[in-house]
Amino acid sequence: MAKPPIGGNRTGRKLGQKVKKGKLKASSRRWIERHINDPYVQRAKLEGYRARAAFKLLEIDEKHQILKGAKRIIDLGAAPGSWSQIAAKVTDSTDEDVRVAAIDFLEMAPLPGVKILQLDFLDPDAPRQLIDAVGGTPNLVLSDMAAPTTGHQKTDHLRTMHLCEVAAHFAVEVLAEGGHFLAKTFQGGTEKDLLNMLKQNFRQVLHIKPASSRQESVEMFLLAKGFKGRRDGVANASVDEDGFARDPREFDEADEAEE
Ligand SMILES: C[S@@+](CC[C@H](N)C(=O)[O-])C[C@H]1O[C@@H](n2cnc3c(N)ncnc32)[C@H](O)[C@@H]1O
C-alpha cells in the first residue's frame, strides 16, 4: 500500500476547513472545501507532485509492479503531469535521451525528460507522433484520460469508455512483449469485447480501485499485464496464446481476477 495520507498540518494547512458563504455557488464551495481538505492534495504538494493522481499510480505500482523495469513510457491524458513526473523518474529520462511521451489537449508545463504533445489523442496522427516522441518501443502505456464533463452523466461515461477502448487498441499496436497497459475506466463500464481483446493479448487483466481514488467516484482502473506480443506484426484478435482460434464466449469469469 502507498503511504497513508498525511494528517494535515505538515503543509501548514489544517484539514476540516470551511469556505465562507459568499458569492460562490454551493456546489463550487463544496468542491473547494473537498479539495483543500483532501489529504492526498496536501501530500502531493508536500512531495512535489503536480496532482493527487500521482498516488493512484504509485499505489497500483506498489501492488502490481508495473513501473519496475519500464524503459519507455507513453502517458495518455497527461496534464497536469504527475504520472509523467513518475514516468520520467523511473525511466531515467532526460532531455538528451527522452524515454517518456505525454499527450493532452490541454497545455502542460514542461517537464525534464518528457516530450509533451498538445494534441487530441483521437487525432488520427496522434499514434505516429507518440511513437516518434518516445523514441523506441514502449513497455508501459498509461491512460488517465477522462472526457471533459458535459453534465450528462451517461454521455460522459460513454466518452471516457471510448477513450479507454482506443487507448487499449493503441497499446496492443505499440507495446513491447511483456509490457503493461493501465487505463482509467468506470465501475461496471468495461465492455465485454474490450475485456476479451485484452485477455487475448495479455497474461492477466484486473480491475483496481485504489484507496486514493475517491470512494464516491465510479472511477476504476483497468490493468492488463504481460503483453503477449504480436504475431507477424499483428496483435491477437481472436486467437489464444497457443495460436488457436478462440470463441470469445468461451471466456469465463475465472479468466478475470477482480479486486
Ligand atoms: C485526470 S486528468 C490526468 C491527470 C494526470 N494523470 C496527472 O497525473 O496529472 C485527465 C486528462 O485527460 C485529458 N484528456 C481527455 N481526453 C483527451 C483526449 N482525447 N486527448 C488528450 N487528452 C485528453 C484531459 O485534458 C485531462 O487533462
Q: Is 120 in the pocket of ligand 1 (CB under 6 A)?
A: yes
**DSSP symbols for 107-140:** -----TTEEEEES-TTSTTHHHHHHHHHTS--SE
Q: Distance, CA 106 to ligand 1 centroid (Å)?
A: 8
Task: Give the predicted TM-score (pTM) of the model.
Answer: 0.83
Q: 146 CB under 6 A from ligand 1?
A: yes
Taking only the tens place, the pLDDT of each residue in 90-131 is: 999 999 999 999 999 999 999 999 999 999 999 999 999 999
**Residue 112, preceding bond cis, omega within 30 degrees?**
no
Q: How far apart are CA 157 and CA 149, in angstroms?
A: 9
- The Cα 196–Cα 205 span in angstroms is 10
255 is in an annotated binding site: no
For ligand 1, the distance from its centroid to the CA atom of residue 80, given in whole angstroms, is 8
Closest atom of ligand 1 relative to the 54 alpha carbon: 8
Q: Residue range 28-33: average pLDDT?
A: 70
Confidence band, pLDDT 50/70/90 cuts, at residue 16: low
- Per-residue pLDDT of 175-211, as tens digits, reads 999 999 999 998 877 788 999 999 999 999 999 999 9
Does residue 49 have its Cβ closer than 6 Å to ligand 1?
A: no
* Percent share of the chain, pLDDT over 70: 77
Query: How far is residue 76 from each of residues 11, 120, 205, 245, measured CA to CA in Å?
Result: 30, 10, 19, 32
User: How many Å apart are CA 62 and CA 110, to the nearest integer?
Assistant: 27
Ordered by where they begin, the domains of the chain are: 18-48 (no CATH), 51-258 (3.40.50.150)
Banded model confidence at residue 152, pLDDT cuts 50, 70, 90: confident
| Grid cell locating 165 | 477502448
User: Rounded mean pLDDT of 15-20?
Assistant: 64
103 forms beta bridges with 76, 117
Task: Tell whether ligand 1 has an atom less than 6 A from the beta carbon of residue 164.
Answer: no
Q: Clarify whether 71 is annotated catalytic.
A: no
What strands, in cross-sheet order, belong to the sheet with 202-208? 114-118, 100-104, 73-76, 140-143, 180-186, 219-227, 202-208, 257-258
Residue 170: strand, helix, or coil: helix
C-alpha cell at 238: 481472436
Per-residue model confidence (pLDDT) at position 231: 80
Ligand 1 midpoint to CA 147 (Å): 8
- For ligand 1, pick from 60, 104, 182 the residue to mutate: most ligand atoms within 8 Å of CB: 104
